């Protein structure tokens, strides 16, 4: 009986796709990469919408299961392959709860301002528009407040959920990478001792 | 066993969602009032529990946990053997629960919250509703609800034929849209979304909080 390999539909430029790729590698799971040509609008074609009606990447197929939303995908992979590769979930119910808590913090407090900054400073000019500096300022303000809380947390804990690298840290990788490089907002990270040490650690895995 | 402590506010729908979950799981708890109108959530005592200064936060023995979606996930797992099964029976079913939980968090909640903020919060603080912002977010929500309509025409609940965390997560925001924002037509104009909303919002564990 041959196990079907996981099929990942995505695009390398997509941060959400990058996050799933990172997870698959951490879990040492084989996969087939099916390129969704975003520039050609492939993600809005009926063939892709049949997999993911929201028309965004990535989506995975694992046997009969079709799954979208990158944070749900990495959670599924972390559980299904708990016995191999890096353990991204924690060992006790309490540790797992803290992983979920910091995953939610990423999804609702970190990601919105970070993605707005990326949109304004990189994507909008790329599409011929101009950066709204006021919006960037507001979102840097929001991110600063969040990162102050991270600084406090990471002064007591090596990683966000505890002393182990988890989904919560992994979820921060793609967006922080863009903030530091393309958005040129690396000072948000480097100005905070513990956040910086955490970033150096997780980004060099 | 010490009862789970829920630090929250009775009029906060996210607090109510956690209480609803506890009731569905038949778990005892103690509600500790965090008096939002007097700014209790921003005082050092509460910030020591939840540095983000929002409700709710729970304490279960040594564990202090915030983020309402993480809290209900923890409760669903810890008490998997009793009360309503919120997670499905297989890994695939559970994956679909998380998928639709993420859809709520990333596609439904942001526009719904913006609409609520413009229609209720902004006037409450002396400002005026930005109608263009409301329009834009209503449009976003319409697109999302069209996808829900399609999904719910094939599936009784979002993740499958069972009431799950994904449906529970929709209760707070949809409650606001229908009851505080006058946007009930977004729901009632869609046959299957409407049937689903009627079903989930009439669960006694949810309804009891609003009588």
More confident site: B168 or A3: B168
Q: Nearest CA of chain A to the CA of B72: how many Å?
A: 10
Cα separation, B115 vs B181, in Å, equals: 8
Say if residue B196 is in the same domain as residue B129: yes
pLDDT of the residue at A1 = 53
SS3 B5: strand
Give the residue extent of every domain in chain A: 6-81, 93-204
Say if residue B140 is in the same domain as residue B174: yes
More confident site: A149 or B125: A149
> Does residue B143 fall inside a structural domain?
yes
Chain B interface includes A54 (CB < 8 A):
yes
Say if residue B70 is in the same domain as residue B95: no
A66: phi then psi, degrees, rounded to nearest 5 = -110, 130
Choices 3.40.50.300, 1.20.1050.10, 3.40.50.1000, 3.40.50.1860: CATH for A93-204 = 1.20.1050.10
> Does residue B187 fall inside a structural domain?
yes
Question: Could you report the predicted ipTM of this complex, rounded to two decimals?
Answer: 0.95
pLDDT of the residue at A194 = 98
pLDDT over 70 at B70, yes or no? yes
Cα separation, A172 vs B78, in Å, equals: 27
Cα separation, A165 vs A8, in Å, equals: 23
Q: String of b and e for B104-115 (b: at least 16 CB within 10 Å)?
A: bbbbbbbbbbbb
Say if residue B36 is in the same domain as residue B113: no
Which residue, B45, B79, B113, sits at the end of a domain? B79
Task: Give the nearest partner residue to A93 out of B70, B78, B98, using CB atoms.
Answer: B78
> Does residue B208 fall inside a structural domain?
no
pLDDT over 90 at A4, yes or no? no
Say if residue B105 is in the same domain as residue B197: yes
pLDDT over 90 at B129, yes or no? yes
Say if residue B164 is in the same domain as residue B195: yes
CATH of the domain at B188: 1.20.1050.10
Mean pLDDT, rounded, of chain A: 96
pLDDT band at B11 (very low <50, low <70, confident <90, very high): confident
pLDDT over 90 at B211, yes or no? no
pLDDT of the residue at B1 = 64
> Does residue B210 fall inside a structural domain?
no
Say if residue B99 is in the same domain as residue B55: no
> Does residue B14 fall inside a structural domain?
yes
Say if residue B49 is in the same domain as residue B95: no
Say if residue B13 is in the same domain as residue B108: no
CATH of the domain at B74: 3.40.30.10
Say if residue B103 is in the same domain as residue B167: yes
**A105/B94 touch (CB, cutoff 8 Å), yes or no:** no
DSSP letter string, B109-172: HHHHHHHHIIIIIHHHTT----HHHHHHHHHHHHHHHHHHHHHHTT-SSSSSSS--HHHHHHHH
Q: What percent of chain B has pLDDT over 70?
A: 99
Global model pTM greater than 0.90:
yes
Total tally of structural domains belonging to chain B: 2
Segment A72-115, tens digit of pLDDT: 999 999 999 999 999 999 999 999 999 999 999 999 999 999 99
> Mean of the pLDDT values across residues A21-44?
96
pLDDT over 90 at B194, yes or no? yes
CA atoms within 13 A on the CB side of B36: 12
Say if residue B148 is in the same domain as residue B126: yes
Domain that holds residue B163: 91-202
pLDDT band at B202 (very low <50, low <70, confident <90, very high): very high
Segment B74-84, tens digit of pLDDT: 999 999 999 99
**A104/B69 touch (CB, cutoff 8 Å), yes or no:** yes
> Does residue B207 fall inside a structural domain?
no
pLDDT band at B209 (very low <50, low <70, confident <90, very high): confident
> Does residue B111 fall inside a structural domain?
yes
Say if residue B61 is in the same domain as residue B96: no
CATH number of A6-81: 3.40.30.10
Residue of B nearest to A142 (CA): B52
Chain B interface includes A110 (CB < 8 A):
no
pLDDT over 80 at A189, yes or no? yes
pLDDT band at B181 (very low <50, low <70, confident <90, very high): very high
């Amino acid at each position: 009986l041959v196990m079907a390999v996981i099929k990942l539909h995505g695009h390398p430029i997509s941060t959400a796709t990058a996050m799933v790729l990172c997870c698959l590698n951490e879990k040492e799971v084989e996969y087939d990469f099916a390129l969704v040509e975003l520039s050609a609008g492939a993600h809005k074609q009926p063939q892709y919408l049949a997999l993911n009606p929201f028309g965004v990447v990535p989506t995975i197929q694992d046997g009969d299961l079709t799954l979208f939303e990158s944070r749900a995908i990495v959670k599924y992979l972390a559980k299904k392959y708990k016995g191999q590769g890096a353990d991204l979930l924690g060992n006790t119910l309490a540790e797992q709860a803290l992983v979920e808590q910091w995953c939610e913090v990423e999804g609702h407090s970190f990601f919105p301002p970070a993605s707005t900054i990326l949109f304004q400073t990189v994507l909008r000019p790329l599409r011929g528009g101009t950066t709204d500096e006021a919006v960037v300022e507001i979102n840097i303000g929001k991110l600063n407040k969040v990162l102050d809380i991270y600084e406090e947390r990471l002064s007591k804990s090596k990683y966000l959920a505890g002393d182990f690298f988890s989904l919560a840290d992994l979820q921060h990788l793609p967006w922080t990478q863009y903030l530091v490089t393309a958005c040129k907002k690396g000072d948000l990270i480097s100005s905070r001792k513990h956040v910086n040490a955490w970033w150096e650690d997780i980004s060099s895995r | 066993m010490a009862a789970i402590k829920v630090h929250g506010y009775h009029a906060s729908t996210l607090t109510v969602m956690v209480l609803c979950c506890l009731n569905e799981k038949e778990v005892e708890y103690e509600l500790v009032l965090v008096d939002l109108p007097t700014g209790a959530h921003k005082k050092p005592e509460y910030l020591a529990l939840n540095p983000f200064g929002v409700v709710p936060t729970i304490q279960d023995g040594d564990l202090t946990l915030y983020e309402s979606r993480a809290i209900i996930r923890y409760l669903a797992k810890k008490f998997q053997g009793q009360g309503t099964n919120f997670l499905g029976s297989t890994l695939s079913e559970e994956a679909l629960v998380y998928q639709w939980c993420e859809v709520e968090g990333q596609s439904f909640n942001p526009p719904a919250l913006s609409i609520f903020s413009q229609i209720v919060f902004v006037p409450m603080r002396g400002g005026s509703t930005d109608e263009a912002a409301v329009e834009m977010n209503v449009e976003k929500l319409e697109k999302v609800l069209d996808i829900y309509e399609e999904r719910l025409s094939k599936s009784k609940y979002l993740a499958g034929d069972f009431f799950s965390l994904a449906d529970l997560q929709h209760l707070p925001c949809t409650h606001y849209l229908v009851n505080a924002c006058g946007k009930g037509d977004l729901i009632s104009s869609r046959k299957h979304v409407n049937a689903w909303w009627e079903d989930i919002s009439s669960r006694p564990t949810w309804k009891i909080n609003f009588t």
